């Protein structure tokens, strides 16, 4: 079957969320960024947020090009400054949802200062970090996350620096939502991004991803699919894991899951509170009083909930055909009973299916929960996970207990 | 430029006794600036402090960023989200800002940056004056780019020129740099802020036409093109890469010619509208003193003394530093015996004067390294020498 690029562009289910006039994209075959962008676009659709009010900001590098392919307001900035630019966007118009999509070299290397301070301020941003352990665009140099002994063009005899564990870094800085997945866990990535889009505060989602052209080839690790197999074999699902235990060794275990989710006032909420104290209830930001802003926000939440509800009622008919064509695994999830997901945590050779099924199920539950206003939905995913636990056994504690044994083995 | 009267909310009308730094903040608020991202650095910090203090009552927002790199980056984001934006800094911070100053030039983002100059290089003289960043303002960012720079000589002008800086910035969609100095910044003088209906400001021009015709850029070497605001549903894309009018990357030599020509010519072919000079007794003068900022006020004493001695001295004060007033200097060269250029640096703007004089008139540099203003006697000596 040959692929006609024109048919592909017009017929793509992502035609609304991606800039089809910019396709084909620059990413290599086997690269994880494409599937992450797909997950992101999917998450935006599923979240029910107004795409007009979404701004995507990227830095420099392979992942930095994401801004050029998503069909939203998008800003491709200088190297490392994406978070700072996004801060400006969010503060200049608090009605916008602002997403930073960039690589680990951009965010944690040259842009490290902006990243930690945005987390410290609890700036209302969603930061999606594609971590492929390498500077791809410039030819495969070492990054702040490159694990020890890995080869890079600037560590030709093996890396001897200590890498960052990004979840730990973000946790220490006060990020209020921290998750890590690999580019193989695209449904979880979608779910995490969806959650992050709907919540307030600084959300950090790390996605471990293969760079077949540079990192994998230089380290003789095969191609993209081989690395996905590695992710499948070596990832340990551990919701609520202590972020101090999330370090990644060379080709070692990768702890995945949602590590942190907590609430605290965002930068703007704190600023507004202080200013109301100072100026009084008629305090305005850009010509709107805070109660007016809150009312607008509430109305927007209701619109989002309505869109999500509409989507869920529309889903069953549409899903069967579109999904069965694209992702046969999903329809199976709906029908077949799910097997305990803890197997993934306990057996390294476990099949990917249980994780997918289990988490997909959780996703469904939490989505249903989240149709309610945000405040009550804040802890929904965690609750949903617990509720679903008896059936699906994604109980954080179970896997948390089980996996250390596993890793010690 | 279709100006409107200022929003009275940001205008603290009446006579004040304030320093140049505070006048910069008041000018910004009067011009409609509602977003300020800054990082403390002597001798510019007072501007940030003033803005932070005034912001809540006006409904503006001040944020102290983690560094100057972040400050100017936040301005770019805020400008595309619809706000008029400003930051202040001085030499060391300005060095950091040059990175995204380049991005702001490339993405044609309106913003105002005040550089309250202090002695350098490096950390230099944090509390003492200088005019050493004149060339950095023009040539700081890598690659060809063109900005507008203004230089006030008093706190009153700090106010007036900040309003004008915003208007130029909005019209030409270019960063405008206010090159003031520590002396003006920390000098307290009478500043009269006019009533709001007497302040002319250019409002942000946001695109509002059909989506398919939306272009963030137009490469026609002109100003006056609308911005596209985030959240208005136009799905704009902007990038620091060489791009087409749609904002998409097009990395070819041909496209680079189009973009760079536009970025340069939108300023250089409109110099008649942009450049403001303050001239005094130039007609029939033998010697013309070319000065700017605080130095122009020192030069006044020397000029008066020289005139008492019977020397025909004219004064040309540069209010607009960049684009440089090439045309005016060329007109005068050959007609006057000499140009005298005093400045608190090792000789920066004098090179522009020399270039435009083209050897037809003498050019005498009265340079003076940072830390203090000139002794008027030194300038007077130079005028005497020039008249010989």
Tell me what pLDDT residue A389 has. 40
The Cα of A400 is separated from the nearest Cα of chain B by a number of Å equal to 37
Taking residue A347's Cβ as centre, other Cβ atoms within 10 Å add up to 13
Q: Is A6 helix (H, G, I), strand (E, B) or coil?
A: helix
Structure tokens at B273: 């509208």
Question: Contact, B341 vs B363, CB < 8 A?
Answer: yes
Name the nearest CA neighbour of A84 among A106, A62, A104, A105.
Answer: A106
- Residue ranges making up the domain that contains B73: 4-201
Tell me what pLDDT residue B1 has. 76
**Residue % of chain A over a pLDDT of 90:** 70
Residue of B nearest to A68 (CA): B237
Q: Are residues B67 and B178 in the same domain?
A: yes
Tokens 């791009």 belong to B243
User: What is the distance between the alpha carbons of residues B61 and A285, in angstroms, rounded to a whole number?
Assistant: 7
SS3 of A84-114: HHHHHHHHHCCCCEEEEEEEHHHHHHHCHHH
Q: Is B18 helix (H, G, I), strand (E, B) or coil?
A: strand
User: What is the distance between the alpha carbons of residues B157 and A4, in angstroms, rounded to a whole number?
Assistant: 63
Tell me what pLDDT residue A312 has. 84
User: What is the distance between the alpha carbons of residues A391 and B158, in angstroms, rounded to a whole number?
Assistant: 70
Query: How many interface pairs between A and B have CB atoms less than 8 angstroms apart?
Result: 148
Q: Looking at the domain assignment, is residue B246 inside a domain?
A: no
B250 in contact with A at a CB cutoff of 8 Å? no
User: Mean pLDDT throughout A273-296?
Assistant: 93
Q: Looking at the domain assignment, is residue B229 inside a domain?
A: no
- Higher pLDDT pick, B145 / A348: B145
Name the nearest CA neighbour of A64 among A171, A160, A136, A150.
Answer: A136
Q: Which of A140-154, A342-356, B177-191 bottoms out in mean pLDDT, i.e. has the lowest?
A: A342-356
**Is A75 close to B80, i.e. CB distance below 8 A?**
yes
| Cα-trace Rg, chain B | 21
Tell me what pLDDT residue A16 has. 85
User: What is the distance between the alpha carbons of residues B176 and B113, in angstroms, rounded to a whole number?
Assistant: 6
Name the nearest CA neighbour of A191 among A332, A366, A395, A392.
Answer: A366
Q: Looking at the domain assignment, is residue B43 inside a domain?
A: yes
Q: Which residues of chain A neighbour B231 with C-beta distances below 8 Å? A: 52-53, 55, 73, 93, 95-96
Q: Which residues of chain B neighbour A273 with C-beta distances below 8 Å? A: none
Q: Which of A350-354, B146-150, B230-234 bottoms out in mean pLDDT, i.e. has the lowest?
A: A350-354
Q: Which residues of chain B neighbour A113 with C-beta distances below 8 Å? A: 66-67, 69-70
Residue A397, exposed/middle/buried by CB under 10 A (0-12, 13-18, 19+)? Answer: exposed
| DSSP 8-state assignment for residue A215 | I
> What is the distance in angstroms between the CA of the first residue and the CA of the last residue of chain A?
46
Q: Which residues of chain A neighbour B81 with C-beta distances below 8 Å? A: 55, 88-90, 92-93, 96
User: Mean pLDDT throughout B148-163?
Assistant: 98
Q: Looking at the domain assignment, is residue B217 inside a domain?
A: no
Question: Contact, B349 vs B381, CB < 8 A?
Answer: no
The Cα of B84 is separated from the nearest Cα of chain A by a number of Å equal to 9
Q: Looking at the domain assignment, is residue B262 inside a domain?
A: no
Q: Say yes or no to pLDDT of A120 above 50.
A: yes
Name the nearest CA neighbour of A329 among A365, A358, A309.
Answer: A358
> Could you confirm whether domain A14-261 is CATH 3.30.70.260?
no
User: Mean pLDDT throughout A177-206?
Assistant: 97
Q: Are residues B112 and B24 in the same domain?
A: yes
**pLDDT, tens digit, 9 for 90 and up, residues A358-397:** 444 444 444 444 444 444 444 444 444 444 444 443 444 4
Q: Which residues of chain A neighbour B34 with C-beta distances below 8 Å? A: 286
Residue of A nearest to B82 (CA): A92
Q: Looking at the domain assignment, is residue B133 inside a domain?
A: yes
Taking residue A154's Cβ as centre, other Cβ atoms within 10 Å add up to 14
Q: Say yes or no to pLDDT of A399 above 90.
A: no
Q: Which residues of chain A neighbour B103 with C-beta distances below 8 Å? A: 77-78, 81
**Is A114 close to B70, i.e. CB distance below 8 A?**
yes
User: What is the distance between the alpha carbons of residues B151 and B321, in angstroms, rounded to a whole number?
Assistant: 7
Q: Which residues of chain A neighbour B82 with C-beta distances below 8 Å? A: 92-93
Structure tokens at A261: 């989710």
Tell me what pLDDT residue A400 has. 39
Tell me what pLDDT residue A377 has. 41
- Higher pLDDT pick, A9 / A55: A55
User: Mean pLDDT throughout B265-287?
Assistant: 96
B227 in contact with A at a CB cutoff of 8 Å? no
Tell me what pLDDT residue B283 has. 94
The Cα of A92 is separated from the nearest Cα of chain B by a number of Å equal to 5
Q: Looking at the domain assignment, is residue B209 inside a domain?
A: no
User: What is the distance between the alpha carbons of residues B278 and B284, in angstroms, rounded to a whole number?
Assistant: 16
Q: Which of A6-15, A172-181, B77-86, B311-320 bottoms out in mean pLDDT, i.e. has the lowest?
A: A6-15
**pLDDT, tens digit, 9 for 90 and up, residues B253-266:** 999 999 999 999 99
| Cα-trace Rg, chain A | 21
B142 in contact with A at a CB cutoff of 8 Å? no
Domain end marker among B201, B217, B239: B201
User: What is the distance between the alpha carbons of residues A113 and B338, in angstroms, rounded to a whole number?
Assistant: 51
CA distances (Å), B238 to each of A76, A93, B171, B298, in order?
A: 6, 18, 19, 45
Measured between CB atoms, which of B57, B74, B102 is closest to A84?
B74
Tell me what pLDDT residue A316 has. 58
- Higher pLDDT pick, A371 / B4: B4
Residue B313: CA atoms inside 13 Å, Cβ hemisphere, count?
A: 30
CA distances (Å), B115 to each of B35, B71, B94, in order?
A: 17, 14, 7
Q: Are residues B179 and B306 in the same domain?
A: no
Tell me what pLDDT residue A357 has. 42
B179 in contact with A at a CB cutoff of 8 Å? no
User: Mean pLDDT throughout B341-356?
Assistant: 97
Question: Contact, B371 vs B119, CB < 8 A?
Answer: yes
What's the angle, vertex CA A100, arms to CA A96 and CA A106, rounded to 5? 155
Domain end marker among B153, B171, B201: B201
Q: Which residues of chain B neighbour A111 with C-beta distances below 8 Å? A: none
The full length of chain B comes to 388
Structure tokens at B209: 């036409």
**Residue % of chain A over a pLDDT of 70:** 76
User: What is the distance between the alpha carbons of residues B171 and B2, in angstroms, rounded to a whole number?
Assistant: 9
Tell me what pLDDT residue A359 has. 45
Question: pLDDT tier at A2 (50, 70, 90 boundaries)?
Answer: low
User: Mean pLDDT throughout A256-277?
Assistant: 96
**Test the B interface: residue of A92, A93, A300 with most B CBs within 10 Å:** A92
Domain count within chain B: 2
ipTM associated with this complex: 0.96
B81 in contact with A at a CB cutoff of 8 Å? yes
Rounded to the nearest angstrom, the gap between the alpha carbon of residue B157 and the centroid of all alpha carbons in its chain is 12
The Cα of B70 is separated from the nearest Cα of chain A by a number of Å equal to 5
Q: Say yes or no to pLDDT of A341 above 60.
A: no
The full length of chain A comes to 409
The Cα of B299 is separated from the nearest Cα of chain A by a number of Å equal to 42
Question: Contact, A172 vs A260, CB < 8 A?
Answer: no
Q: For residue B55, what is the domain's CATH number?
A: 3.40.50.970
**pLDDT, tens digit, 9 for 90 and up, residues B280-327:** 999 999 999 999 999 999 999 999 999 999 999 999 999 999 999 999
Average pLDDT of chain B to the nearest whole number: 97
Phi-psi region of B143 (alpha: psi -120 to 50; beta: other; left: phi over 0): left
User: What is the distance between the alpha carbons of residues A164 and A143, in angstroms, rounded to a whole number?
Assistant: 9
Residue B359, exposed/middle/buried by CB under 10 A (0-12, 13-18, 19+)? Answer: exposed
Letter string b/e over residues A77-105, b meaning 16 or more CB atoms within 10 A of that residue's CB: bbbbbbbbbbbbbbbbbbbbbbbbbbbbb
Name the nearest CA neighbour of B27 among B112, B133, B101, B90.
Answer: B112
Tell me what pLDDT residue A311 has. 87
Residue A287: CA atoms inside 13 Å, Cβ hemisphere, count?
A: 10
Structure tokens at A373: 């206003």
Beta strands in A166-221 (DSSP E): 177-182, 203-208
**Is B73 close to A77, i.e. CB distance below 8 A?**
yes
Q: Is A141 helix (H, G, I), strand (E, B) or coil?
A: strand
Q: Say yes or no to pLDDT of A408 above 80.
A: no
Residue of A nearest to B235 (CA): A73
Tell me what pLDDT residue A322 has. 44
Tell me what pLDDT residue A343 has. 40
Q: Looking at the domain assignment, is residue B195 inside a domain?
A: yes
Measured between CB atoms, which of B69, B82, B237 is closest to A92?
B82
Letter string b/e over residues B88-102, b meaning 16 or more CB atoms within 10 A of that residue's CB: bbbbbbbbbbbbbbb
Q: Are residues B19 and B124 in the same domain?
A: yes
Residue of A nearest to B56 (CA): A275
B33 in contact with A at a CB cutoff of 8 Å? no
Hey, where are the domains in chain A?
14-261, 307-408
**pLDDT, tens digit, 9 for 90 and up, residues B170-216:** 999 999 999 999 999 999 999 999 999 999 999 999 999 999 999 99
Measured between CB atoms, which of B35, B56, B70 is closest to A279?
B56
The Cα of A274 is separated from the nearest Cα of chain B by a number of Å equal to 9
Residue of A nearest to B80 (CA): A89
Measured between CB atoms, which of B35, B69, B249 is closest to A92?
B35
Q: Which of A26-40, A72-86, A341-355, B174-188 bottoms out in mean pLDDT, i.e. has the lowest?
A: A341-355
The Cα of A384 is separated from the nearest Cα of chain B by a number of Å equal to 33
Measured between CB atoms, which of A19, A81, A283 is closest to B73?
A81
Domain end marker among B167, B201, B235: B201
User: Mean pLDDT throughout A69-80?
Assistant: 96
Structure tokens at B265: 């010519």
Sorted by sequence, the CB contacts under 8 Å of residue A305 that are 6+ apart come out as A48, A371, A372, A373
């Amino acid at each position: 079957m040959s692929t006609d690029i024109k048919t592909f562009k017009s017929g793509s289910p992502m035609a609304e969320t991606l800039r089809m006039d910019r396709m084909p994209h620059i990413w290599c075959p086997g690269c994880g960024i494409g599937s992450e962008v797909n997950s992101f676009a999917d998450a935006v659709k599923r979240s029910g947020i107004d795409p007009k009010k979404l701004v995507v900001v990227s830095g420099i590098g392979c992942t930095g090009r994401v801004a050029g392919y998503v069909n939203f307001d998008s800003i491709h900035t200088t190297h490392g400054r994406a978070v700072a630019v996004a801060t400006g966007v969010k503060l200049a118009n608090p009605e916008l949802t602002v997403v930073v999509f960039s690589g680990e070299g951009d965010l944690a290397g040259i842009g490290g200062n902006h990243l930690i301070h945005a987390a410290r301020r609890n700036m209302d941003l969603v930061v999606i970090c594609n971590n492929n352990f390498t500077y791809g665009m410039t030819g495969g140099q070492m990054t702040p996350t490159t694990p020890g002994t890995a080869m890079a063009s600037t560590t030709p005899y093996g890396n001897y620096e200590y890498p960052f564990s990004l979840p730990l870094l973000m946790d220490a800085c006060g990020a209020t939502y921290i998750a890590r997945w690999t580019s193989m866990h695209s449904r979880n990535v979608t779910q995490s991004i969806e959650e992050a889009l709907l919540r307030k505060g600084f959300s950090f989602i790390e996605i471990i991803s293969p760079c077949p052209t540079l990192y994998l080839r230089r380290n003789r690790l095969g191609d993209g699919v081989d690395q996905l197999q590695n992710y499948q074999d070596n990832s340990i699902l551990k919701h609520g894991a202590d972020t101090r235990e999330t370090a990644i060794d060379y080709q070692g275990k990768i702890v995945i899951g949602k590590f942190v989710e907590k609430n605290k006032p965002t930068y703007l909420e704190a600023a507004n509170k202080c200013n109301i104290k100072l100026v009084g209830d008629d305090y305005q930001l850009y010509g709107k009083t805070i109660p007016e802003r809150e009312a607008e926000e509430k109305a927007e939440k209701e619109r989002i909930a309505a869109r999500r509800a509409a989507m869920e009622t529309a889903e069953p008919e549409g899903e069967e055909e579109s999904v069965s064509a694209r992702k046969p695994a999903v329809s199976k999830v709906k029908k077949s009973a799910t097997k305990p997901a803890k197997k993934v945590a306990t057996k390294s050779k476990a099949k990917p299916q249980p994780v997918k099924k289990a988490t997909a199920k959780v996703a469904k539950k939490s989505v249903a929960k989240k149709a309610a206003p945000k405040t009550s939905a804040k802890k929904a995913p965690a609750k949903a996970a617990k509720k679903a636990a008896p059936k699906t056994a994604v109980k954080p504690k179970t896997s948390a207990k089980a996996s250390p044994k596993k890793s010690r083995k | 430029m279709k100006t409107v009267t200022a929003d009275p909310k940001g205008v603290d009308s009446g006579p004040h006794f304030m320093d140049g730094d505070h006048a910069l903040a008041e000018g910004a608020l009067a011009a409609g600036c509602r977003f300020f991202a800054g990082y403390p650095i002597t001798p510019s910090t007072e501007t940030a402090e003033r803005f932070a203090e005034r912001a809540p009552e006006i409904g503006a927002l001040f944020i102290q960023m983690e560094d100057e790199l972040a400050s100017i980056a936040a301005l770019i984001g805020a400008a595309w989200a619809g706000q008029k934006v400003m930051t202040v800094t001085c030499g060391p911070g300005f060095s950091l800002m040059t990175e995204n100053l380049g991005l702001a030039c490339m993405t044609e983002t309106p913003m105002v940056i005040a550089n309250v100059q202090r002695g350098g290089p490096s950390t230099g003289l944090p509390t003492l004056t200088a005019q050493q960043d004149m060339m950095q303002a023009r040539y700081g960012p890598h690659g060809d780019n063109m900005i507008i720079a203004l230089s006030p000589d008093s706190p009153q002008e700090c106010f007036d020129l900040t309003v004008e800086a915003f208007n130029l910035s909005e019209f030409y969609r270019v960063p405008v740099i206010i090159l003031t100095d520590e002396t003006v910044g920390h000098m307290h003088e009478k500043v009269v802020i006019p009533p709001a209906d007497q302040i002319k400001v250019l409002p942000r021009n946001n695109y509002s036409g059909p989506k398919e015709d939306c272009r963030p850029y137009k490469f026609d070497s002109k100003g006056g093109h609308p911005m596209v605001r985030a959240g208005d549903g136009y799905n704009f894309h902007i990038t620091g890469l060489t791009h087409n009018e749609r904002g998409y990357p097009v990395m070819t030599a041909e496209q680079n010619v189009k973009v760079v020509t536009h970025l340069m010519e939108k300023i250089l072919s409109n110099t008649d509208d942009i450049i403001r000079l303050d001239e005094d007794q130039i007609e029939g003068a033998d010697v013309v003193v070319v000065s700017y900022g605080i130095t122009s006020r020192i030069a006044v004493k020397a000029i008066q003394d020289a005139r008492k001695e019977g020397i025909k001295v004219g004064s040309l004060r540069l209010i607009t530093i960049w684009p440089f007033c090439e045309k005016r200097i060329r007109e005068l060269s050959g007609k006057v015996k000499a140009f005298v250029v005093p400045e608190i640096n090792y000789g920066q703007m004098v090179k522009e004067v020399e270039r435009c004089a083209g050897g037809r008139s003498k050019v005498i540099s009265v340079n003076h390294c940072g830390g203090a203003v000139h002794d008027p006697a030194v300038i007077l000596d130079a005028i005497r020498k020039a008249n010989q």
